[in-house]
Amino acid sequence: MKTMEAFKFRLVPTPEQEALLKRHAGCVRFVWNKALDLQEKCLDAGIPLLSCGDLAKLLTLWRASEEYGFLANGPSHPQQQTLRNLDRALWDALTGKRGFPRFKRKGEGDSLRYPDPLQVKLDLATRDAEGGNLLPRIFLPKVGWVKVRLSRRPSGDPRNATVTRKAGRWAVSLQTEREIQEPEIRTGPEIGIDLGIVSFATTSEGERIHPSPELVMAMRAAEKKIVWEQRKLSRKYRKGPKSRNFRKQKIGVARAHERAANMRLDFLHKASTAVGEIPKPSSTSRV
């Protein structure tokens, strides 16, 4: 059977490449806001919504026009993909599954999705001029080859890629597809989990899962760092246009939150893995 797997890696773009990524993300944000504005006007006028195909035709006209010709400087596939995302978000809102989509603000949720796997290429065999260490890189349309930090080697055939910006850092998520064997039916006993306060979780086997003292100390330090960074941000706040130092400190707050979130996510992954490896009820191992 076939299965989908995702791999997320940190990008290391040059200043020129980062400027291009910001510009392309701005084009995608503009297309989203422009199309959402048109759809809202259709709802206010009581006429049917524009289909995704109609919006795609308008996008072609925008890219060829003089007023919105700057959209042609960015790749077309992410702009077309954001129209599909908007169409799905609108129908989910109209059917009551989710809330109504909102306009996107600059610098928040920047992303570029490349649905065509032929547009993105991953090179793992590139060496520097002196034949030293491997320098993995990925090719992005209208950006070029961008260095990437690989934490593991991706497997399977690529299906799509998504470039995101969070806390001032760029990352790429690759979704691959590969063949695996049919999963075997598990016949072992089931394990129940009860979340608590004194212990993070207690299983029906009597095993208690809780963070190590080192992780607790690191989390407390991360929380103090968040408080410190937010206090610095409050001192730089002012009404009206925000200063450059405010925007820089805002990234510092986001990175402090990201570090704490990564600690929690790492603990949850290790804890969920340890649940399936409990040797016997009398053991008291820690995660």
- Please tell me whether residues 106 and 128 are part of one structural domain: no
Quick one: 101 and 26 in the same domain? yes
214 and 169 in one domain? no
- Are residues 7 and 120 both part of a single domain? yes
The verdict on residue 287 lying in a domain is no
Tell whether 44 and 92 lie within a shared domain: yes
Which of 124, 152, 179 finishes a domain? 179
Strand-pair partners of 276? none
Q: Does residue 249 fall inside a structural domain?
A: yes
Residues 18, 24, 29, 35, Cα dihedral to 10°: 180
* Structural domain contains residue 154: yes
- Measured CA to CA, the distance from residue 259 to residue 224 in angstroms comes to 12
Residues 6+ apart with CB under 8 A from 20: 142, 143
pTM of the model: 0.80
Q: Which of the residues in the chain have pLDDT under 70?
A: 126-134, 186-188, 276-287
Cβ atoms < 10 Å from Cβ of 93:
13
Same domain, 204 and 261: yes
The C-alpha atoms of residue 22 and residue 3 are separated, in whole angstroms, by 33
On whether both 106 and 150 belong to a single domain, the answer is no
93 and 140 assigned to the same domain:
no
Position 261 scores a pLDDT of 93
Query: Residue 129: what pLDDT?
Result: 53
* 256 and 136 belong to one structural domain: no
Residue 282: what pLDDT? Answer: 43
Q: What is the pLDDT of residue 100?
A: 94
Q: Is the domain of 130 the same as that of 9?
A: yes
- pLDDT score recorded for residue 152: 85
Please state whether beta strands 157-166 and 169-179 pair in parallel, antiparallel, or not at all (unpaired). Answer: antiparallel
Query: Which domain covers residue 104, as residue numbers?
Result: 18-111
Q: Please indicate, yes or no, if residue 214 is contained in any of the structural domains.
A: yes
